[in-house]
């Protein structure tokens, strides 16, 4: 695909637009909810147990501690200044072996998330990472879904407001093309080429057999090329019950998205063979909007609908004594988040 065609594809498919282009037109809506709540940073009260309500700069490890242990991966918290050999010793003692997942303790958009295959790669990760990080066991399930969950304060059960299936970025071999050539045939993977060249190196010149699938990015991040498919129509009472069993024990968690690895959708609904690899609070998007079949108008409608629910939850929690974020602290949070994002992009 030529550079011009790639640029045109990106321009005509809003899912690839920068966040400011999607969210800035909705500023009047955010302002409306801010006036209604009495604070521009009302989201702080959405999830009182999470720093900043889970909007940004929150520790993933602190959130894992809220989740019932049986629903999360085996996880080790490691400080930036801990020597690699000491960290490896603790990782092995915990029962985690190669390959495993390493990711920043405070992160976003899957920046800095890597699958680590050996000790050399781990030492390289430690050298590059700018902050504390987590090491997690590799979960064997091959499917990932994002489930948005909302529970009003005082309610005994919450509801699911959107479900997105995540198709990992991959290529399918034809018996004659290299991985690089296959990447360039699909705009979704071609847009990730610069990053993939750094990660895959000489493997890009491997020729795949006909029908052979090669996973380019082994996790469901939209910013890393995953295709998001809206499967909200699959919502059922059994799945709602399962997600409530995960979320209700979490102290003061009312609004956010669960990213879940699972074996089959039927087993997930039954509460079997699944793992919550991450829970995002106020900063979590209802990512079913990124299904290519959805228009920008659909996305705007869903974003504003969820902001309305977040505002309602925040106001109710505020009435119960939980504070909003001051304008000064809110600005400081946004500034720190911008700096961290720039750092994580370099990993």
Q: What is the pLDDT of residue 342?
A: 87
Out of 3.40.640.10, 3.30.1490.20, 3.40.50.1820, 3.90.1640.10, which CATH number does the structure's domain 74-138 have? 3.30.1490.20
Q: Is the pLDDT of residue 300 over 80?
A: yes
Indicate left, alpha or beta for 271 from its phi (over 0: left) and psi (-120 to 50: alpha).
left
Q: What is the pLDDT of residue 257?
A: 98
Q: Which residue has the higher pLDDT, 218 or 9?
A: 9
3 state DSSP class of 165: strand
CATH number belonging to domain 1-59+140-168+217-311+329-347 = 3.30.470.20
pLDDT tens readout for residues 223-254: 889 999 999 999 999 999 999 999 999 999 99
Question: Mean pLDDT throughout 106-112?
Answer: 87
Q: For residues 305 and 296, is the Cβ–Cβ distance under 8 A?
A: no
**DSSP H or E run through 263:** none
Sign of CA dihedral 216, 289, 230, 254: positive
Structure tokens at 281: 């609070």
pLDDT tens readout for residues 302-336: 999 999 999 999 999 999 999 999 999 999 999 99
At residue 77, φ and ψ (nearest 5 deg) are -90, 130
Confidence band for 343, pLDDT divided at 50, 70 and 90 = confident
Q: For residues 169 and 192, is the Cβ–Cβ distance under 8 A?
A: yes
Q: Is the pLDDT of residue 274 over 90?
A: yes
* CB burial of residue 223 (10 Å; 0-12, 13-18, 19+): middle
Q: Is the pLDDT of residue 347 over 80?
A: no
pLDDT tens readout for residues 38-78: 999 999 999 999 999 999 999 999 999 999 999 999 999 99
Q: Is the pLDDT of residue 1 over 80?
A: no
Rounded Cα distance, 259 and 145, in Å: 6
Q: What is the pLDDT of residue 110?
A: 83
Candidates 212, 199, 232, 205; CA nearest to 110 is 199
The pLDDT > 70 percentage for the chain reads 100
Mean pLDDT of all residues belonging to the chain: 96
Rounded Cα distance, 131 and 116, in Å: 17
Residues in the chain: 347
Q: Is the pLDDT of residue 36 over 90?
A: yes
For residue 253, how far is the Cα from the chain centroid?
17
Q: What is the pLDDT of residue 2?
A: 83
Confidence band for 341, pLDDT divided at 50, 70 and 90 = confident
Question: pTM of the entire structure?
Answer: 0.95
Q: Which residue has the higher pLDDT, 190 or 3?
A: 190
Q: For residues 143 and 129, is the Cβ–Cβ distance under 8 A?
A: no
Rounded Cα distance, 101 and 107, in Å: 14
| C-alpha distance across the termini of the chain, in Å | 27
For residue 99, how far is the Cα from the chain centroid?
20
Q: Pairing state of beta strands 100-104 and 143-150?
A: unpaired
Same fold, 1-59+140-168+217-311+329-347 and 74-138: no
- Domain edges within the chain: 1-59+140-168+217-311+329-347, 74-138, 169-216
DSSP3 helix / strand / coil % (the chain, rounded to 5): 45, 20, 35
Confidence band for 111, pLDDT divided at 50, 70 and 90 = confident
Rounded Cα distance, 216 and 128, in Å: 21
pLDDT tens readout for residues 146-203: 999 999 999 999 999 999 999 999 999 999 999 999 999 999 999 999 999 988 999 9
The pLDDT > 90 percentage for the chain reads 92
* CB burial of residue 26 (10 Å; 0-12, 13-18, 19+): middle
């Amino acid at each position: 695909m030529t550079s011009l065609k790639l640029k045109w594809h990106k321009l005509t498919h809003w899912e690839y637009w920068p966040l400011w282009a999607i969210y800035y037109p909705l500023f009047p809506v955010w302002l409306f909810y801010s006036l209604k709540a009495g604070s521009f940073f009302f989201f702080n009260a959405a999830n009182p147990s999470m720093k900043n309500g889970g909007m940004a700069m929150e520790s993933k490890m602190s959130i894992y501690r809220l989740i019932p242990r049986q629903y999360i991966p085996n996880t080790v918290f490691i400080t930036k200044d801990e020597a690699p050999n000491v960290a490896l010793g603790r990782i092995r003692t915990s029962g985690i072996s190669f390959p495993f997942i390493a990711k920043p303790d405070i992160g976003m958009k899957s920046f800095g998330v890597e699958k680590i295959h050996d000790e050399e790669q781990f030492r390289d990760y430690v050298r590059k990472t700018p902050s504390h990080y987590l090491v997690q066991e590799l979960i064997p399930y091959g499917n990932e879904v994002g489930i948005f969950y909302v529970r009003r304060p005082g309610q005994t059960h919450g509801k699911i407001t959107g479900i997105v299936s995540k198709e990992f970025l991959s290529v399918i071999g034809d018996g004659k093309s290299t991985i690089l050539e296959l990447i360039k045939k699909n705009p979704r993977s071609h847009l990730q080429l610069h990053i993939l060249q750094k990660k895959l190196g000489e493997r890009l010149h491997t020729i795949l057999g006909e029908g052979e699938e090669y996973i380019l990015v082994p996790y469901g991040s939209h910013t890393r090329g995953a295709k998001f498919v809206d499967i909200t129509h699959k919502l059922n009472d059994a799945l709602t019950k399962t997600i409530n069993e995960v979320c209700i024990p979490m102290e003061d968690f009312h609004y956010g998205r669960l990213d879940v690895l699972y074996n089959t959708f039927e087993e997930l609904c039954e509460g079997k063979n699944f793992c919550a690899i991450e829970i995002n609070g106020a900063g979590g998007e209802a990512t079913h909007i990124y299904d290519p079949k959805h228009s920008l108008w659909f996305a705007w409608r869903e974003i504003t609908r969820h902001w309305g629910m977040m505002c309602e939850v925040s106001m109710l929690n505020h009435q119960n004594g939980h504070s909003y974020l001051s304008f000064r602290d809110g600005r400081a949070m946004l500034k720190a988040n911008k700096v961290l994002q720039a750092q994580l992009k370099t990993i």
